[in-house]
Homo-oligomer: A and B are copies of this chain.
Amino acid sequence: MTTRRPPDNTLHQRILKDLEGKIVSGAWPAGHRLPFEVDLARSYGCSRMTVNKVMTELVRAGLIERRKRSGSFVLEPKVASAVLEIPDIQQEVETRGLCYAFTLDRRTRRIARAADQRHLDLADAGPVLALTCTHFASGRPFCIEDRLINLATVPDADSADFTVIPPGQWLLQQVPWTAAEHRIQAVNAAGPVADQLRLDPGAACLVMERRTWGGDGPVTHVRLTYPGDRHSLVARFEPSAP
């Protein structure tokens, strides 16, 4: 069985791959000026609009820079960013062929303390929900979740039953689109954390903190602690546009 891949015999794709190839292969090094739109259009026997759309994509992909009156130039290669995959915990566990489960260990409703305000990026005190969960993979602790939910923007969270659905999944369903900021660190497991994850005290753990904003302001802050030796994050970079 071959993977179903779109043929992409379109002129657009042909030109895109062609120019992209010239750039990533080094045939056109950084600083090189590409042919003008009109010339490319003529040489490919197509209209300028078609070439223009391709060039616009190359700009998006960060391969070229365009200057009016001067032309289009190949940029310096940059590995300055990569796409980090952040899978859902349940999905991640099940992908490994393990059985997923979770427990809600603590649930507290309170007025945001100074630390809560800092974590949630809140300007002033308001009601928040503090949750602690443990996620399991086939009975083994997989990850600890410490979460704060801003009840000012997600009031329904107060009446949600987080023993049935993990708060992360509930929020994903509830709140539409969000912006997020992640911070990844390595820490030594303190005593209680080590116990909870069944690790030796001081074992290295991967900690991912995520802050999330919706249209109405800060939504949630979560701190996920994974055993460092069993877990890794993956990020990829491709010069070509996907």
Contacts and interface: CB of A to CB of B under 8 A. Distances in A.
Given A182-B236, A228-B185, A83 B86 contact: no
A24 B239 contact: no
A235 interface: yes
Interface in A56-88: 60, 63, 76-77, 79-88
Given A79-B86, A202-B202, A177 B24 contact: yes
Interface in A183-242: 183-188, 202-207, 210, 212, 215, 226, 228-229, 231-239
B176 A231 contact: no
Contacts of A84: 81-84, 235
Interface in A26-83: 26, 29-30, 53, 60, 63, 76-77, 79-83
A201 to B, nearest CB: 10
Contacts of A239: 177-179
Contacts of A237: 179-182
A187 B229 CA distance: 6
A30 B176 contact: yes
A234 B183 contact: yes
Interface of A: 23-26, 29-30, 53, 60, 63, 76-77, 79-88, 172, 175-188, 202-207, 210, 212, 215, 226, 228-229, 231-239
23 contacts: A23-B176, A24-B177, A29-B176, A77-B175, A77-B178, A79-B178, A79-B180, A82-B86, A84-B84, A86-B235, A178-B239, A179-B237, A179-B238, A179-B239, A182-B237, A183-B234, A184-B206, A184-B235, A185-B232, A186-B187, A188-B204, A188-B228, A235-B235
